[in-house]
Amino acid sequence: MAQFFSFFIFFSMCFLFSCSTLTKQLIDYGDFSMNGGVYKNQRWSGSLRFKRVSWFHEFSMFFDVNVTRFDIKSPFVNWLSADELAEINACKDFLITLSYAADEEKISQRMFLDEMARNGFDKIMLPNFETHLKLHPDFDRSSLSLYKLYGHCNKNGSGPVENITIGLPGFSEANILLN
């Protein structure tokens, strides 16, 4: 019995020690879709599919981003103004992001935009598209009201990039596969 008790204490100490050495910083990957859309008298069933990456410290989300490569053949192009579409057409690659910063003092939208620039993407504002997206039923269902929408244009690349890498302070780099 004493031998079992000693083994149990040893095992418990090893388990507790291993738990205490786990990182408290976590990056979680997933996906998210907005299904269907409406513009004037048109309805469609296509989806905007986003890759989602979330940065956590313990149980608190510090930053969250949803990224999609925007296809100008998609019916969602109807949500763009003529000026927005002209800007996108000048891009070799174009992404849309929805991003959330829990505390701008720690990890900010500016840091994220700087990382996108490091990947070769310049910020484009899409006010017309954003208005339509915010009125989509999945936007409210997914609690995205605190998220910022940005377009990201790569004019210098040779075409669509396969992935982007986002490095935020205190975390390892996140590699987002776009295909």
Digit-by-digit pLDDT tens for the chain (179 residues) are: 556 555 556 555 545 444 444 568 899 999 999 999 999 999 999 999 999 999 999 989 999 999 999 999 999 999 999 999 999 999 999 999 999 999 999 999 999 999 999 999 999 999 999 999 999 999 988 999 999 999 999 998 778 899 999 999 999 999 999 97
> Is 61 a domain residue?
yes
Return the half-sphere exposure (C-beta side, CA atoms, 13 A cut-off) of residue 31. 11
Count: domains in the chain: 1
> Is 106 a domain residue?
yes
> Is 15 a domain residue?
no
What's the pTM value of the predicted model, to 2 decimals?
A: 0.84
> Is 12 a domain residue?
no
pLDDT recorded at residue 9: 60
pLDDT recorded at residue 7: 52
- Going by their DSSP bridges, the two strands 93-101 and 60-69 should be labelled as antiparallel
> Is 10 a domain residue?
no
pLDDT recorded at residue 157: 77
> Is 6 a domain residue?
no
> Is 119 a domain residue?
yes
Residue type present at position 144: L
Q: How far apart are CA 50 and CA 132, in angstroms?
A: 17
pLDDT recorded at residue 179: 77
- Two tokens, residue 87: 């800007």
* Residue 38 domain boundaries: 24-177
Question: In 3-state terms, what secondary structure has residue 83?
Answer: helix
- Two tokens, residue 44: 């469609």
